[in-house]
Amino acid sequence: MNFEYIKTYDAEHFSFIRVPKLLVTDKLFEKLSAQAKFLYGIMLDRVSLSIQNGWVDERGNVYIYYTLSEIQKALCCGTGKAVSLMAELDSKKGIGLIERMKQGFGRPDIIYVKNFSTAAVPQAPDPHEEIQASEDQKSRLPKNESLDFQKSKVKTCENRQLVILRVLSLI
C-alpha cells in the first residue's frame, strides 16, 4: 500500500479516539488489557454524542448505548472477546469503569461510562485486623501442612487442583 503524506491543510480533518494516559501509567489500571483500555476510550468518545442526544438520566448522569455487535465491528472481534472486554470494564466483574443497566425486551443496555480520574482510594487496612486474620488462617491449616508446598506435590494436574483449592480455602 502507498499512503499519501498528510499535508498541513489535512491535519484538521482527522478525528481521534483518545485513551487517557492515566490508564497506561497508573498502577490502578495495570491489569486492564490494552483492548479494554481502547474500548473505554471509544466509550468516552461516545459520551459527547450522548450529551448531544440528551441521553442524561434524572440524576444528571450521562449514559451511552453501545451494543455487543457494534463493539465487535469496531474492534474486529468475536462475541466472546467483546463480552470479555466489557466484563473487564464492568463494575460487577471488572474494574468498574462502566456500569451496565439491563433494559430487557431486546433493548440494548444503558451504559454509564464512569470518570476514570475520580476513583475512591481504598482505606489502608488496620494492622491489628491483619494480624488477627493471619492467625485465623493458620488455625484452618491442617497441623502437618504449611503454606509452602513441596515440588513433588505439584506434579500432576490433580495435585495442582488440590493445591489451588487449599490455597483458596485460606483466603
pLDDT per position as a tens digit, 24-57: 999 999 999 999 999 999 999 999 999 999 999 9
pLDDT per position as a tens digit, 49-72: 999 999 999 999 999 999 999 999
pTM greater than the 0.85 cutoff = no
List the chain domain ranges.
11-117, 127-170
- Cα-based distances in Å from 23 to 17, 20, 38, 55: 14, 6, 10, 26
DSSP string, the chain: --PPPPPTTTGGG-------HHHHH-GGGTTS-HHHHHHHHHHHHHHHHHHHHT-B-TTS-B-B---HHHHHHHHT--HHHHHHHHHHHBTTTSSSSEEEE---TTPPPEEEEP-GGGPPPPPPPPHHHHHHHHHHHHHHS-TT--SS--GGGGSSHHHHHHHHHHHHHH-
Read off the C-alpha cell for 144: 502437618
Read off the C-alpha cell for 165: 483449592
For 56-73, letters b (16+ CB in 10 Å) and e give eeeeeebbbbbeeeebbe
Instruction: Give the CATH number of domain 11-117.
Output: 1.10.10.10
pLDDT per position as a tens digit, 87-139: 999 999 999 999 999 998 889 999 999 999 886 555 555 555 555 545 545 44
